Amino acid sequence: MSDCIFCKIAAGEIAADFVYQDDDVVAFRDITPQAPTHVLIIPRRHISTLLDATPESGPLLGRMQQAAVEVARREGLAERGFRLVTNCLEEAGQSVFHIHLHLLGGRRLSWPPG
């Protein structure tokens, strides 16, 4: 989508601090980190929200999870733990309408979330 900031990051049109890239998925550091490690994992293909994912999106969602775990290992979080979060629509806090996983770690994370 031409006006989507995450599409532009995936296309290399907007700079980001990339930590992982493959044919389907890219990951980069969140510009407003909420934890010592805060990485966003996004599909290159535009999907606005989880509600827009279809059964055909399943393998891509799996690739995102696998990429997130790979980044977590690289960030040294495999021993201490980490959290993956997807916000869906405004009430959950979604502000960018291109699906993404937040990978959070490097500090103790409280539960339930705010």
Binding site for ligand AMP (CB under 6 A): 5, 16, 30-32, 40, 87, 93-96
Shortest reach from residue 24's CB to ligand AMP, in Å: 19
- 9 or 79: CB nearest ligand AMP: 9
CB contact at 8 A, 84 and 32:
no
Torsion of CA 54, 58, 61, 63, to 10 degrees: -150
Given the residues 38, 46, 98, 100, the one annotated as active site: 100
Radius of gyration of the chain (CA): 14
What phi and psi, each to the nearest 5 degrees, are found at residue 29? -75, 140
Shortest reach from residue 27's CB to ligand AMP, in Å: 11
- The yes-or-no answer on residue 98 being catalytic is no
Active site residues: 100
